[in-house]
């Protein structure tokens, strides 16, 4: 099995103009994972496979980016859901 070299990962991240934080968000990884791989740690088999697929198929990477944006929007909506007591307090205060 061919493993990714740390420079390939860093180049991929820079190609998309991502910080480590944004790249981790898009891939669904932890920022520490990105940092470890870029420092030379060996990626897990599943992470290695994902990286190879994303490099071969930039359209798939675009889909990952789009999905991460949707997740961010959904998280924002969930923060203001009716189940959030702070949100209920705000609604109550505004209704007066």
pLDDT tens, residue by residue, 35-52: 999 888 988 989 988 888
51 alpha-carbon distance from chain centroid: 13
**29 contacts: CB under 8 Å, gap ≥ 6:** 23, 47
Alpha helix locations (H) across 1-96?
Answer: 6-15, 20-27, 31-38, 45-56, 58-79, 85-94
Q: Which residues of the chain have pLDDT under 70?
A: 1-4, 72-96
Q: Using a cut of 0.75, tell me whether the model's pTM lies above it.
A: no
């Amino acid at each position: 099995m061919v493993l990714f070299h740390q420079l390939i990962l860093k180049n991929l991240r820079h190609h998309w103009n991502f910080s480590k934080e944004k790249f981790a968000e898009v891939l669904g990884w932890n920022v520490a994972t990105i940092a470890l791989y870029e420092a030379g740690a060996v990626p897990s088999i599943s992470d290695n496979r994902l990286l190879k697929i994303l490099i071969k198929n930039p359209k798939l990477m675009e889909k990952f980016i789009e999905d991460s944006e949707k997740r961010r929007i959904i998280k924002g909506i969930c923060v203001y859901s009716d189940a959030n007591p702070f949100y209920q307090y705000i609604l109550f205060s505004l209704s007066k």
